[in-house]
Amino acid sequence: MSVLSGAEPFVHEGSEDIGVLLCHGLTSTPQSMRPWAEHLAAAGFSVRLPLLPGHGTRWQDLNRTTWQDWYAEADRNYEALRERCRAVFVCGLSMGGTLTLRLAQRHPDIAGIVVVNPSVLTLRRFAKLLPVLSRFVPSIAAIAGDIAKPGASELAYDRLPLRAMASLQRLWALVRGELDAIEQPVLLMRSAVDRVVESASAAAVLRGVSSEDVREIVLSDSYHVATLDHDAPRVFSSSVEFIQRIHRERVEEAV
């Protein structure tokens, strides 16, 4: 199955000091993160933004994958950066934030993480029915393109594959159960208005991590896909400042 135009992965071989892995959200593609990736590359970092399995083709393909497939691709790209760079940071949007948290749990050597509107739970009633519903209903209408900025659009499926969503729900439970294993510096950015991921997700992350260096930024002028929205420049600049500060402090501690 051919990949949709614009959904291609992004790789930039920059600094050997700092590498950054970015992870996109469920039903989305690297297009939603491409401006962020390019900004990080312009800052001199090595950057990898993979297309996660089941994405960027047809929504039916996503139903044939599980969270283990998405995590394996993210992990493979993390290892590629780790082989090249002295320090690796991981950034994620929505479900990409879930993967970022899981990577931090499994790889204590990750230097720091940046999550934007990360998902680790939902309070919607249908979630309780999802394990059963997903066996009989292939998909429902997706909430894609939740962007306040006029003219901005997200390259994503217009259907939410329920078997894939049920798999993400299982990943949420794993991540929530081990949030206290995350000790790396954390920058969490969340939109004040998000019609996809409830604010309870960000609250659970902030409450659960063991990190001493935690910062929360509220994005007042963006919806869920903040990386394509009005606050995108703030997301980009704040992440660069965070990465540079953490790396500088790590170097100073090593001297």
> Is 94 known to be catalytic?
yes
Phi, psi of 90 (to 5 degrees): -125, 135
Token pair recorded at residue 4: 């949709």
Is the predicted pLDDT of residue 164 greater than 70, yes or no? yes
pLDDT at 144: 79
pLDDT at 10: 98
The residues, ordered by sequence, that sit 6+ positions from 246 with a Cβ below 8 Å of its Cβ are 89, 111, 112, 185, 213
Measured CA to CA, the distance from residue 84 to residue 206 in angstroms comes to 31
> Is 224 known to be catalytic?
yes
Confidence of residue 143 (pLDDT cuts 50, 70, 90): confident
pLDDT at 1: 67
Question: Which among 15, 28, 46, 94 is annotated as catalytic?
Answer: 94
Q: Quote the DSSP letter at residue 43.
A: T
> Is 107 known to be catalytic?
no
Confidence of residue 204 (pLDDT cuts 50, 70, 90): very high
Place of tokens 């209408």: 141
Measured CA to CA, the distance from residue 53 to residue 23 in angstroms comes to 12
Question: Which among 15, 134, 167, 194 is annotated as catalytic?
Answer: 194
Question: Which among 24, 39, 55, 224 is annotated as catalytic?
Answer: 224
Measured CA to CA, the distance from residue 201 to residue 176 in angstroms comes to 10
How confident is the model over 32-53, as a mean pLDDT?
98
In the beta sheet, which residues pair with residue 18?
87
